[in-house]
Amino acid sequence: MTIVSDSTQEMVTEIYLSTELVDIKEKTIRIFALDSNTIGLSNSPPKLWQDQRLWEGKVPVLENNNELTIILPPEIVQFYHPKKIELASSPEKDNVILVINR
């Protein structure tokens, strides 16, 4: 797993993804609370995500050199209380699965 965020603060509020690992070109992306430990990021999500999501929203994507910064919305931070977030998979490079470690 690749660590995409590791906070020294109380909770992670933004994540960083290498453009080598993911292919996100949009300025905003859809974010999905998939279960109690998993977040999905995509602009063309699988139907399963849409059908089984706990929550869905949109977040801005900031690109700087070879890194994307995604600021997590308050609903996600309050639900997960994330201390560390890791990249679980990105099989299609535009559907990103993140795992929350508390």
CA distance 56 to 86: 20
Residue 63 pairs in a beta bridge with: 68
Over residues 21-78, the pLDDT tens digits come to 888 888 999 999 999 999 999 988 999 999 999 999 999 999 988 899 999 999 999 9
Does residue 68 or residue 5 have the better pLDDT?
68
> What pTM, to 2 d.p., does this model score?
0.86
Mean pLDDT in residue range 79-97: 85
CA distance 2 to 17: 9
